[in-house]
Structure 1
Amino acid sequence: MMKDRIQKIEQQIREAAEKAGRNPEEIRLVAVSKIKPAEMVKEAMDAGQRIFGENYIQEAVAKIEEVGSEGIEWHFIGHLQSKKSKYAAGVFDLIHSVDSLKLAKEINKQAAKKGVVQKILIQVNTSGEDSKSGTTEEAVIELIREAATLENVAIKGLMTMPAFFDDPEGARPYFRQLRLIKERIESLAIPGVEMKELSMGMSGDFEVAIEEGATLVRVGTAIFGARSYHS
């Protein structure tokens, strides 16, 4: 049952936090509901899950309209094109995947039209893979300095997606790298910038991510089962 799977993951989160000497309350589970029907989201809600992550704008907007937002949070975790930011700004509680000043400016513009301040994370490509979105470690501080001047976005932290490894220990250096970047940004005390959140870790490696400082872990398969992608 889904409730059992969620409870198992929450227990794993608690154990990983305690192993690392962290407060388990600092870590929140994002249930990645992409390609899954609204009925499964409702089932997870009934099991106590409160944060859902979506990757595709059209699918997410339709699902949010069906399920609603009362008592839950919707996070956008996929690659976001600037031209689609009008559908995301003010709809999602947090956008994890801002990787350019162009995108940040467009989100700011759309959020201003709606009279809201959109919370965002800056995505960093820690693995250097061409297939992964994200700004570089070298460019992230300048991006944050510039995005911090925008009135209708609020930077809350960082996100990364490392390379895939069969052994979760393989991802550890990339999670650690993001935490060190976070600490460096914190030391700069850039006005208007919070480094509260580190979004990293998925079904196969979230415990290692927690040991390295994750505050948001994005888990889909372990909650909803494998996904079927239809062409």
Structure 2
Amino acid sequence: MQGSASERWSALTSQIPARVRLLAVSKGHPALAVRELAGFGQQAFGESRLQEAVPKQSELADLPLEWHFIGRLQKNKVRGVVRAFPVIHSIDSWSLAERVSRIAAEEGRTPELLLQVKLRPDPSKGGWSETELFDVWPRLLSLPSLRIRGLMTMAPQGLASDERLRLFRECAALKDQLELQECSMGMSGDWREAVTAGSTWIRLGSALFGPRPASLPG
């Protein structure tokens, strides 16, 4: 999307229903760009690299921002992520959930979690299948120091629009079956289908910020 940051912001937010929250994916963008977007009213920002996010958060500590971790969470980064992010979108296994629970208790934190589900074959992504999630659900609910708020999914590359819509509707239905509140699905190429299907969070990066600066990690 062309235009200034304010024009991109206005064009996108005018199309998003009030029930849907916008997560601005700020990975690869400098703190100054986050500050500019926050000036328009954006509060929630998503990062996927701990080493990039922490200094950015420090530089923006004067702003009342809501930070979400959206990348694949490596086990050796759990403590740092738990310290820095109140919301984590990418819990994709029992062992990771258990580790986050233990470390959150040690750190005196209670992060909100979205569980990553994989409802179509996709070798490039992790996540629970519907069957796996139901099998582990009672144990997940028993883990201390966690607030399980919803589900997150991503559509595999190459799906047609109607196939993405079907996938997102399945995820929203699973969220309802588990009596969860949030469904994080939909990115720059498919957020409209996700909103139609019932997403409560969409994750947009370049559509808001423009291209990432070459000098920052891509």
State the Cα deviation string for residues 70-101 of structure 1 (Å, max 9, x = none): 42100011100122100111421210100111
2:81 equivalent among 77, 88, 106: 88
Per-residue deviation at 1:155?
A: 0.3
1: CA distance, partners of 2:136 / 2:112:
16
Q: Map residues 46-85 of structure 1 onto 2, 5 A cutoff.
A: 46-68=39-61, 70-85=63-78
Q: Map residues 131-150 of structure 1 onto 2, 5 A cutoff.
A: 131-150=124-143
State the Cα deviation string for residues 118-162 of structure 1 (Å, max 9, x = none): 110100012220101211121012333212111111100000011
Counterpart residue number, 1:20: none
The answer to whether the 8 Å contact 1:2/1:47 transfers is: no
Aligned CA distance change for structure 1 residues 144 and 2 (closer, same or farther; 3 Å): farther
Per-residue deviation at 1:58?
A: 1.3
- SS of 2:211's equivalent in the other structure is coil
Runs of 4+, deviation exceeding 6 Å:
none
Letter in 2 for 1:219: L
Letter in 2 for 1:12: Q
**TM-score for the superposition, normalised by structure 2:** 0.91
2:181 is aligned with 1:159: no
2: CA distance, partners of 1:89 / 1:142:
26
2: CA distance, partners of 1:7 / 1:142:
43
Counterpart residue number, 2:110: 117
Letter in 1 for 2:35: K
Aligned CA distance change for structure 1 residues 2 and 105 (closer, same or farther; 3 Å): same
Stretches of structure 1 lacking an aligned partner (at least 5 in a row)? 15-23, 187-194
- SS of 1:142's equivalent in the other structure is helix
2:27 is aligned with 1:34: yes
1:224 equivalent among 193, 209, 212: 209
2:99 equivalent among 73, 98, 106: 106
Stretches of structure 2 lacking an aligned partner (at least 5 in a row)? none
Counterpart residue number, 1:189: none
Counterpart residue number, 1:172: 165
The answer to whether the 8 Å contact 2:175/2:182 transfers is: no
2:14 equivalent among 11, 14, 17: 11
1: CA distance, partners of 2:173 / 2:83:
30
Per-residue deviation at 1:222?
A: 0.5
State the Cα deviation string for residues 30-49 of structure 1 (Å, max 9, x = none): 00011111111111111211
Per-residue deviation at 1:167?
A: 5.2
Equivalenced residues, count: 213
Deviates more, 1:93-102 or 1:221-230: 221-230
State the Cα deviation string for residues 150-184 of structure 1 (Å, max 9, x = none): 11111000000111348544411110110121122
- SS of 2:199's equivalent in the other structure is coil
Letter in 1 for 2:119: T
Letter in 1 for 2:121: G
